[in-house]
Amino acid sequence: MKKVYNVAGHRFSIEMPDNNPAWEMMHGNYDPFLADDDGDVLFAVRYVDIMPDTSAKRLVTKDCEGEGFSEIGLYELDGRWLIEMIEPFGAEPTLFLLCEKDFSEVWFHYTGDARFSIETVLMVVFAFATACHDTLQMHASVTMHQGKGYVFLGKSGTGKSTHSRLWINNIEGCELLNDDNPVIRVLADGSVHVYGSPWSGKTPCYRNLDVPIGAIVELHQAKTNVIRRLSLPAAYAAIYVSFSGFRFIKEMADGLHATNEKVVSRVPVYSLDCLPNADAAFLCYKAVAQ
């Protein structure tokens, strides 16, 4: 079976056997993004029963954000990329991806949890394949208000989801767009939009919507609520640590850099030192949305 999805204007396909249990698991979050199978796709992902011999692989880099995150190993193999992933707290790779160098075609095999594997494959390949197309897949929470999106960045545990909820609970007319992996895209007319995606962490919010970005806010836990607008270099740095992609692949790094530059030149970026209270939401709202 083959299905096509459209996320942030990027079409991609996935093929797996009809009886693969992952199809049933994908209904809730992927169905809003289903597209007709009548056009080109940016990348195609296919499940294989057996991976080819990988003994000749050459390590490029390994990456892990920390405890509780997957470890990703990037290798070169016969003119392609090989990605091996170890699930959080696992010991051996359970997910394998063989990719063309531009990520236009990907073959994958998994031996671990089906839901984790499919989510990881599509989220990772999407981030990599779109990196040179004015697109950033973010680790952020996004709240919409009066037709604009407000993107909240920060390290894990900083309170991005909490701050979104504070806006929604205290400021009339706010709605959640995505709570973990929204997509930022610079459009051909130069405008910058934020999109919902099939990936939203622990909060089930899978909305096939997009809005112009009103502001990007980097959150920091603090004992007082203070907000300030960041300079262009500081804004670039704040966004740089919040999007997905392998900086070790030059073409990908160049594409991400170019998009980041476009975003910070068009969208105001702020730093918010905050407590997890309504006052922080009101202060931020008044600074960035009024």
Claim to verify: residue 158 and residue 105 sit in the same structural domain: no
Q: How many residues does the chain have?
A: 290
Q: Which of 129, 155, 181 is the last residue of a domain?
A: 129
- Residues 188-216, mean pLDDT to the nearest whole number: 96
Looking at the fold, whether 118 and 262 belong to one and the same domain comes out as no
Site of tokens 């692989």: 57
Provide the pLDDT for residue 78.
94
Q: Which residues are CB-contacts of 157 (< 8 A; sequence separation ≥ 6)?
A: none
Domain limit, last residue, from 104, 129, 154: 129
Model pLDDT for residues 35-49, shown as the tens digit of each residue: 998 889 999 999 999
pLDDT at 280 over 70: yes
- Confidence category of residue 100, pLDDT binned at 50, 70, 90: very high
Please report how many Cα atoms fall inside a 13 Å half-sphere around the Cα of residue 19, on the Cβ side. Answer: 0
Per-residue pLDDT tens over the stretch 205-256: 999 999 999 999 999 999 999 999 999 999 999 999 999 988 889 999 999 9
> 128: which residues sit within 8 A by CB, 6+ positions away?
99, 103, 244, 245, 246, 249, 252
CA distance 142 to 148: 10
Predicted pLDDT of residue 287: 97
Tell whether 269 and 164 lie within a shared domain.
Answer: yes
Q: Which domain CATH number covers 275?
A: 3.90.228.20
| CA distance linking residue 35 with residue 38, whole number of Å | 9
Q: What is the pLDDT of residue 65?
A: 61
| H or E, element range at 199 | none
Would you state the pLDDT for residue 11? Answer: 98
Q: Which residues contact 140 (CB under 8 A, 6 or more apart)?
A: 151, 152, 153, 160, 178, 180, 181, 182, 242
* Nearest of 75, 71, 92 to residue 83 by alpha carbon: 75
Per-residue pLDDT tens for 4-23? 999 999 999 999 999 988 89
Beta strands in 208-268 (DSSP E): 210-221, 226-229
Domain, as residue range, for 114: 2-129
pLDDT at 215: 98
Whether 160 and 270 map to the same domain: the answer is: yes
Whether 67 has a pLDDT exceeding 70, the answer reads no
Say if residues 85 and 66 touch (Cβ distance below 8 Å): no
Average pLDDT, stretch 111-125?
A: 90
Contact between 116 and 103 (Cβ < 8 Å): no
Residues 67 and 170 both lie in one domain: no
- State mean pLDDT over 73-93: 88
Distances in Å between the alpha carbon of 289 and those of 109, 112, 203, 210?
Answer: 45, 44, 24, 17
**Count of structural domains, the chain:** 2
Looking at the fold, whether 259 and 241 belong to one and the same domain comes out as: yes
222 CB-side CA count, 13 A: 14
Each residue of 135-178: pLDDT tens digit?
999 999 999 999 999 999 998 888 999 999 999 999 999 999 99
- My answer on whether 15 and 125 are in the same domain is yes
How large is the average pLDDT for residues 179-194?
A: 97
Q: Using one digit for the tens of pLDDT, what is the confidence trace for 242-274?
A: 999 888 899 999 999 999 999 999 999 999 999
Q: Taking the CB of residue 68, how many other CB atoms lie within 10 A of it?
A: 9
Q: How far apart are CA 265 and CA 252, in angstroms?
A: 20
Count the neighbouring beta carbons within 10 Å of the beta carbon of residue 90: 14
Residues 57 and 123 in one domain: yes
Q: Quick one: 157 and 282 in the same domain?
A: yes
Same-domain pairing of 278 and 141: yes
pLDDT recorded at residue 202: 87
If asked whether residues 113 and 149 sit together in one domain, one would say no
In the predicted structure, residue 64 carries a pLDDT above the cut 80: no
Residue 66 has pLDDT above 70, yes or no: no
Distance of CA 274 to CAs 100, 152, 226, 290, Å?
44, 12, 7, 19
Longest Cα–Cα distance of the chain, Å, equals: 58
Q: What is the pLDDT of residue 68?
A: 62
